[in-house]
Amino acid sequence: MQPMPHQLMGYDRAITMFSPDGRLLQVEYAKKTVKQGSTAMGISCKDGVLIIADKRIVDKLIIPESVEKIFKIDEHMGATASGILSDARVLIERAQLSAQQHTVTYGTAIDTISIVKDICSLKQICTQSGGLRPFGVSIILAGIDTDGPKIYETDPTGIYFRYKATVIGEGETEIEEIFEKEYKETMTINDALKMAVKALNQVLEKNFHVDRIDAAYIKTEDKKLTSIKPEIIEKVFKEIKKK
């Protein structure tokens, strides 16, 4: 007799219920949601950090500028996400409030890891509390701390890792392979932008368009989140196409 699938046995009906082989199926479903989300990347460079994301605009009537995929946490810190963006908004607003409270209380900018841990603590609570569901979103946080650039990725389980370069969402596997081959710690923000645009172009192919790209950087010298204008991305894209 064939064993029944875990779904038919009801192991995915509650977040607090482990399957016989030690899995939390609702958490695994949340991870699949992230993989179906639009692409988002974070890259640590010698002169700062770069965040770049695909807005995935599928309706021609949508105004591209109204779609926000990069969020300001503080002057020295930004974030992007993949998955259910309404879930991301709640976590981002929590992070923004934490950053403001830290500055008012201590008179200094909060470090990136403190924000990461706060977000991940809430995510973890939602994996062991009845009546809740996991956050269906992964968030990449990028910041400039006193000891240099930092890139962290958080997943729906509440786990986080620090990366040199990371990608979440659609095309994650393909872009990760490109990063592994081409990433160098000596890269400038401009070099990283070229690598990221090239990777997105390869994954999206005919669907690639400059209006779909949202990008920002924070330089180590001024610690200020700055958006990258579409015309700069267009120029980088044209350079890549020539090669």
Query: To 5 degrees, how large is the angle CA 48–CA 226–CA 224?
Result: 60
pLDDT of residue 166: 98
Overall average pLDDT of the 61-71 stretch = 89
Q: Name the pLDDT band for 3 (thresholds 50, 70, 90).
A: low
Overall average pLDDT of the 82-95 stretch = 96
Q: b/e for 64-84, b at 16 or more Cβ within 10 A?
A: eeebebbbbbbbbbbbbbbbb
Overall average pLDDT of the 165-177 stretch = 96
Quote the CA–CA distance of 103 and 108 in Å, as a whole number: 5
**Percent over 70 (pLDDT), the chain:** 96
pLDDT of residue 7: 59
Overall average pLDDT of the 103-122 stretch = 97
- Over the stretch 40-53, which tens digit does the pLDDT of each residue have? 999 999 999 999 99
Q: Name the pLDDT band for 1 (thresholds 50, 70, 90).
A: very low
Quote the CA–CA distance of 51 and 151 in Å, as a whole number: 9
Is residue 108 pLDDT above 70, yes or no? yes
* Closest to 43 (Cα-Cα) out of 209, 241, 230, 188: 188
Is residue 2 pLDDT above 60, yes or no? no
Overall average pLDDT of the 150-173 stretch = 96
Q: Please, what are the domains in the chain? A: 28-242 (3.60.20.10)
Residue 156 neighbours by CB under 8 Å, 6+ apart = 27, 30, 31, 33, 34, 83, 123, 127, 134, 135, 136, 137, 138
Q: Name the pLDDT band for 130 (thresholds 50, 70, 90).
A: confident
Q: What is the chain's Cα-based Rg?
A: 19
Residue 17 CA, distance from chain mean position: 28
